[in-house]
A and B are shown apart, each in its own frame.
Chain A
Amino acid sequence: MYRYDDFDDRFVRARVAEFRGQVERRLSGELTEAEFKPLRLMNGLYLQLHAYMLRVAIPYGTLSAVQMRILAEIAERWDRGYGHFTTRQNIQFNWPKLEDVPDILERLADVEMHAIQTSGNCIRNVTADAFAGVAADEIEDPRPTAELMRQWSTRHPEFSFLPRKFKIAITGSPNDRAATKVHDIGLRMVRNDTGEPGYEVAVGGGQGRTPMIASVVRDFVPKDELLAYLEAIMRVYNLHGRRDNKFKARIKILVHELGLKAFSEQVEAAYEELRGRVRVDPELVRTIEAAFAPPAYDHLPEASPTFGRAYEAIPEFARWADTNLLQHKASGYVAVTVSLKPIGGIPGDATSEQMRALADAADRFGFGELRVTHEQNIVLPDVRTDQLLALWRHLVAHGLDTANRGLVTDIIACPGMDYCSLATARSIPVAQAISERFGDPDRQQAIGPLAIKISGCINACGHHHVGHIGVLGLEKNGEEYYQLTLGGAPEGEAALGKRAGPGLAAAEVPVAIERLVDHYLAARADGETFLQTYRRLGHETFKEVLHAVGD
């Protein structure tokens, strides 16, 4: 993992001291709320429905066991004993008091964390493939590039007052697990004709009220020229992005209005000018790359007799192993997804006790590292296959053993109207009802991969546009209702879901989803997933199924 140098440490601590002074001035009346609000937002502090909410950055979703324990401590000392992991790979605390926030930030700084770039019209915390550095299908670990982007974008004067917020996602794998095509910039590592690794750059993706899939503006940018190319994009956006209309201010609107060709030409012109000038000291690059060097893996055989025996003897363990593991680069290791989606639970929430259990697991069964996924789960990236049984028993003891990665109950949901001041409807109770309805593990396995994603308003924090089944909560005449979308996908051939059927009452949503699932099960060809069947049969046949709901 990257460790702060003196500059990072001084910078973060100076920001804490600065914010402490700002809070004191606000509480003494020296600063008005209008003056203070932009300052607190620059430090990740929002005011939600019931309380303040502090959003803490977890850069590219990587954190250490030590950091996880401090998050647990913060939840316990200054909040209500739990935190919420988000689709942006961050964590949110829902109940902090304003006067405590400087102390919380100070504690975060102790472990090289902060809440900068989690709000406002800046380049937000960069997100990455949660399996970066360990996935067997990866070309290279993209996190050195992500860390470089963090250093480049933090307090960069050109990027502090952008037309609108700006989100970058990166993956080192051809299998996109970072939803790169629905980000302002999506970076996917590829090799050029000579085998050199670099990045394919896509621009103008996003969700929200105007969802769009990003367009590739350049097939290949060499790694050492990436910052110059990104700076060229940011320059064009800064010059031409709409500042007169918040709803048209994202770069996706600029790309759409200018057209990809004209946009690309402007970027290329800026790139020509910048490519010789925006250079990173190779020594710095080497330092960052060294920080992400693989840990000292043991040389192990691929198969483990210990694992094999347990797999045969314990059906629950076998089910979990079938569902929650991903192939690792190193022989004898796997990457484990720890689901934060217990049946009927709140997607993405973890108690302090669970956070500590996860930290302990990272120390005992890995190299002290964890990842947060954009699906709101946790990954233990380096687990020995022969220790999987011991890990599973540890997870069982803490209610973290749900075997549902990628299945129908692995639901993404935003906080919705239970917490969020922007929400138009609740998300969590709908997720809980769907989870309960499909809770039977055999049934989940039989259904296979199915991504349900729920947002409580049009801003789409719950990624409903890219759910195989998306659920959007809206309000009409004071009543919640839900609009389904079908066929969305963040990965592979990324697609936006299409609206299907009438608005539904909350209680009708699980029924409607069950009808869609039954239709799929009846119609699927051998080995076909929900999404594949949907794509083969087309939108209308699935849409028709929904018309019967409520009859």
Chain B
Amino acid sequence: MSKKMILTANGLRSGAVVFWTGSDWSVSVAEAITLDDPTEQKSALAAAEADTGRVVDAYLALVDQTGPTRLRERIRTSGPTITLPSGA
């Protein structure tokens, strides 16, 4: 069975973490589409890498029903696990 992936990157202007919704980039992981098919994953990644006017450092991240599986990706999705000093 193929692995489920989401496509993520950082916004060029803001640097913010963004996710591919199928038609656009969103800062909300809830709007990310899950890509099941390896061919589909590959072509989505290639398109994202070519989308250099909007995003940088695009890559595919493994997900399950609860979201990204790796801790790094979970932190990247939810933000720092600590309370920021200014409460920001």
Name A's B-contacting residues (CB within 8 A): 26-27, 29, 32-33, 47, 49-52, 80-82, 95-99, 345-346, 349-352, 417-419, 423, 426, 428-429, 432, 475, 478-480
Name B's A-contacting residues (CB within 8 A): 10, 12-17, 52-53, 56-57, 69-72, 75-76, 79-82, 84-86, 88
B interface SS class: loop
Expressed in whole angstroms, the Cα–Cα distance for A81 and B16 within the complex equals 17
Among residues of B, the one whose C-beta sits closest to the C-beta of A82 is B85
**Residue of B76, B79, B81, B82 contacting most chain A CB atoms (<10 Å):** B82
Q: Are B14 and A97 in contact (CB under 8 A)?
A: yes
Expressed in whole angstroms, the Cα–Cα distance for A529 and B88 within the complex equals 40
Q: Are B85 and A418 in contact (CB under 8 A)?
A: no
Kindly provide the distance from the CB of A181 to the nearest chain B CB, expressed in whole angstroms: 32
Q: Are B10 and A51 in contact (CB under 8 A)?
A: yes
Kindly provide the distance from the CB of B88 to the nearest chain A CB, expressed in whole angstroms: 4
Q: Are A81 and B86 in contact (CB under 8 A)?
A: yes
Q: Are A98 and B12 in contact (CB under 8 A)?
A: yes
Q: Are B81 and A478 in contact (CB under 8 A)?
A: no
Q: Are A351 and B85 in contact (CB under 8 A)?
A: yes
Tell me which residues across on chain A come within 8 A of B76, comparing CB atoms.
49-50
Q: Are A479 and B71 in contact (CB under 8 A)?
A: yes
Q: Are A418 and B88 in contact (CB under 8 A)?
A: no
Among residues of B, the one whose C-beta sits closest to the C-beta of A79 is B88
Q: Are B81 and A418 in contact (CB under 8 A)?
A: yes
Whether A97 contacts B15 in the complex (CB less than 8 A), given A350-B85, A429-B81, comes out as yes
Q: Are A97 and B82 in contact (CB under 8 A)?
A: no
Return the 5 tightest CB-CB contacts between A and B, nearest first.
A81-B86, A80-B88, A52-B15, A51-B15, A418-B80
The count of A-to-B residue pairs whose CB atoms sit within 8 angstroms is 82
Expressed in whole angstroms, the Cα–Cα distance for A409 and B52 within the complex equals 45
Whether A351 contacts B86 in the complex (CB less than 8 A), given A47-B15, A478-B70, comes out as yes
Whether A432 contacts B82 in the complex (CB less than 8 A), given A50-B76, A418-B75, comes out as yes
Expressed in whole angstroms, the Cα–Cα distance for A27 and B12 within the complex equals 8
Expressed in whole angstroms, the Cα–Cα distance for A82 and B85 within the complex equals 7
Tell me which residues across on chain B come within 8 A of A479, comparing CB atoms.
71
Expressed in whole angstroms, the Cα–Cα distance for A440 and B16 within the complex equals 39
Q: Are A346 and B52 in contact (CB under 8 A)?
A: no
**Residue of A27, A426, A480 contacting most chain B CB atoms (<10 Å):** A426
Expressed in whole angstroms, the Cα–Cα distance for A6 and B86 within the complex equals 37
Expressed in whole angstroms, the Cα–Cα distance for A80 and B80 within the complex equals 13
Tell me which residues across on chain B come within 8 A of A349, comparing CB atoms.
85
Of B53, B79, B85, the contact of A346 (CB 8 Å cutoff): B85
Among residues of A, the one whose C-beta sits closest to the C-beta of B57 is A47
Q: Are A29 and B15 in contact (CB under 8 A)?
A: no
Whether A81 contacts B88 in the complex (CB less than 8 A), given A52-B15, A432-B82, comes out as yes
Tell me which residues across on chain B come within 8 A of A426, comparing CB atoms.
75, 81
Tell me which residues across on chain B come within 8 A of A480, comparing CB atoms.
71
Tell me which residues across on chain B come within 8 A of A95, comparing CB atoms.
15, 88
Among residues of A, the one whose C-beta sits closest to the C-beta of B83 is A346
Of B13, B69, B79, the contact of A99 (CB 8 Å cutoff): B13
Expressed in whole angstroms, the Cα–Cα distance for A475 and B17 within the complex equals 22
Whether A97 contacts B71 in the complex (CB less than 8 A), given A82-B86, A349-B85, comes out as no
Kindly provide the distance from the CB of A31 to the nearest chain B CB, expressed in whole angstroms: 9
Whether A27 contacts B13 in the complex (CB less than 8 A), given A50-B80, A428-B82, comes out as yes
Expressed in whole angstroms, the Cα–Cα distance for A195 and B53 within the complex equals 62
Q: Are B16 and A80 in contact (CB under 8 A)?
A: no
Tell me which residues across on chain B come within 8 A of A51, comparing CB atoms.
10, 14-17
Expressed in whole angstroms, the Cα–Cα distance for A419 and B75 within the complex equals 9
Whether A49 contacts B15 in the complex (CB less than 8 A), given A80-B88, A81-B88, comes out as no
Kindly provide the distance from the CB of B72 to the nearest chain A CB, expressed in whole angstroms: 6
